[in-house]
Structure 1
Amino acid sequence: MYLTAVQVIGGNITVVRGGTAVLPCTLTDTEELLSQISWQRRTRGKPRTDNFFTILPISGPQYLNGLDGRFKYIGSMAGRDGSLQLSNVTLLDEGIYSCIFTLFPSGNHQTDIPLNLLVVPVTSVKDDRPFLGSDEVSLATCTAAGSRPPADVKWLTGSLKERLNTTTSSTQHDDGTATTVSTLFGIPTIKINRHQVNCVVTTPALPEADVLPFTLQVYFPPMEVNIRERSKDSFECLSEANPNASVTWTRSGPWPLSAVKAEGSVLTLLSLSSDLNGLYQCEATNLHGTKKGHLYVHVTSGTCTACWVLFGLLLVFIPFCAAAWWYFFKFKKSQRYQL
């Protein structure tokens, strides 16, 4: 009868999918004859006990029940080391690996080595394309797909913290992975338009947090059109819009081809002549609408003596002046009658 304190030392191994795992297995505290090292597994891909690898003193390592070249023997019989290396690990490889030393005369001694898989998620941020409004809607959605374990997904919103809310949910898949979705909600106003926020994804499968910067977009048609004078002979049509508006210049009469150049939002007077005289219109347009502004040009003696920007404002100002004149006249007349 042999009383031994034989130990087979293994470990608990965790690896990221696609990586390389070392399944450690060493024998200690015995001088008995080692006749064989065997490996068994019970995994997602092989749910029943599967004898898949053996190492013999003379013939060396051998595959059983089919060749799987991802396994490589990295130990030594002389060193009583049965360790295996498994490359390109998949979810189907996750499970329990049993390393068995066969000794004479005491028989088999084994240890079980759990192999755990981590899966790096596929991360993305989607613009939910909110339109300018006064009701709370979804602004953007951040997704960490196919993670194991489920990823933690959060939003960092900086100065907009009090204006925005989030909801987060996780869905478990049959292969053991999960998809986590976090949606950012808020009232789509111009104040939050083009502010940067960050979606932060953390998981044990990543060495550090995955930070996805995102610029909030609130979509709206062109707002009020402004025409500003860039120089004495150049004007620019400006209007806030999202997406940015395209600008088209037109004129009430024939276009003086040799005297005026319209390039995008800029109108340039190439030569100051009376041919330029007239009302010019700039039209700012995007997918959501159109806004117009006007410029009146009047040239005398080679000089632009009168260029009125935003001619439309004059149409507002003239009735205002007429009303003021009427009120002043009526007030004076009333005073005369009182005398």
Structure 2
Amino acid sequence: MELRSLSASSFPPCYCVKRRLVLLTLVYLLSCDVKVLPSVSVKDEYPLEGKEERLLATCTAAGSRPPAEVSWITGSLGDKVRATRSSTQNGNDTTTTISSLLGVPTKEINRQKVRCVVKSEAPEISQDFTIQIYFPPVEAKIVERDQDTFECLTEANPDANVTWSRSDGPLPQSAEADGGKLKLQSISSDLNGLYQCEASNQYGKKHSQLYVHVPSGSCTVCWVIFGLALIASCVVAAVVYYFKFLRNEESPQRVPTSEPEEAPGEADTNI
């Protein structure tokens, strides 16, 4: 005899009725051994970064018959984490087993992958889990991405929300903030001022500042004109030097002779 669609409430004794004769009814008391699969879940315990051991995650196998075995596969984490286990007997003759994963919540184990494994009368059940260590922004740092774009960088979990502002009011129209980036769209003195980026999540915030100063009247055309003038000056200087050098080379020079000059007042004395 096969019983189908049984639930945990079917665990009390099952009765089988068999009619052998018209006036005789036999009732058999059967022992029903019903197996129930556990409901498996893994829960993040949201540990904050610290130096003392904390609960990192829990793996629960709820309502199983017979009781399930729950364990963790921690891979390269080794002795950086450890597991404990507890069981609770339910009223319907099922068992809930919980395995807790503990460790010191440091950035070293943040985002490391582990696996919860549940073994029972049914096929093995496993669920992967990524350890999350939560902490506020560590530092806000502004870096220059190119000539007119700056980015505010930070490390945080969960990821920080970055906002830009200027000390004397809202951002000018020529400055555009896109997440962590600040783009200066046109270089003019309107951009002058002290800019601040703020990186924040629910655990804290950090700030960093950037001072922008554009001299009044500075423009790209002015630099181009200056460059052309500088090149022209170099060309003129080269031409003047060239002709001056050739002129010195072609001018006549006096060459001294080796014949002695006749002394004044001397005459031939030959007879």
What TM-score does the superposition give when structure 1 sets the normalisation length?
0.58
Correspondence for 2:38: 121
**8 A Cα contact 2:71 2:118, kept in partner:** yes
SS of the aligned residue for 2:79 comes to coil
Correspondence for 1:225: 140
Deviations 1:240-259 (A, max 9, x none): 11121111111123445221
Distance 2:57 2:16 in 1: 47
Distance 1:145 1:110 in 2: 35
**8 A Cα contact 1:256 1:275, kept in partner:** no
Q: How many residues align?
A: 216
Correspondence for 1:282: 197
Match among 179, 191, 195 for residue 112 of structure 2 = 195
Correspondence for 1:163: 80
What does residue range 1-339 of structure 1 map to in structure 2 within 5 Å? Answer: 23=1, 85-94=2-11, 95=13, 97-98=15-16, 102=20, 114-204=31-121, 206=122, 208-300=123-215, 301-302=218-219
Distance 1:88 1:143 in 2: 24
Change in Cα spacing, 1:143 to 1:100, as seen in structure 2 (3 Å) is same
Q: Percent identity?
A: 48
**8 A Cα contact 1:97 1:115, kept in partner:** no
Correspondence for 1:41: none
SS of the aligned residue for 1:275 comes to helix
Which structure carries more strand by proportion?
Answer: 1
Distance 2:186 2:42 in 1: 51
**8 A Cα contact 2:194 2:210, kept in partner:** yes
Change in Cα spacing, 1:246 to 1:98, as seen in structure 2 (3 Å) is same
Change in Cα spacing, 1:188 to 1:113, as seen in structure 2 (3 Å) is same
SS of the aligned residue for 1:299 comes to coil
**What runs of 5+ residues in structure 1 fail to find an aligned partner?**
1-22, 24-84, 304-339
What is the deviation of 1:281? 0.9
SS of the aligned residue for 1:120 comes to coil
What is the deviation of 1:288? 1.2
Which amino acid in 1 is paired with 2:127? Answer: L
Change in Cα spacing, 1:256 to 1:126, as seen in structure 2 (3 Å) is closer
Correspondence for 1:43: none
Change in Cα spacing, 1:88 to 1:96, as seen in structure 2 (3 Å) is closer
What is the deviation of 1:153? 0.8
**8 A Cα contact 2:176 2:184, kept in partner:** yes
What TM-score does the superposition give when structure 2 sets the normalisation length?
0.72
Which amino acid in 1 is paired with 2:117? Answer: V
SS of the aligned residue for 1:293 comes to strand
Deviations 1:136-179 (A, max 9, x none): 11111111111111111111111112200110011111211000
Task: State the superposition RMSD in angstroms.
Answer: 2.4
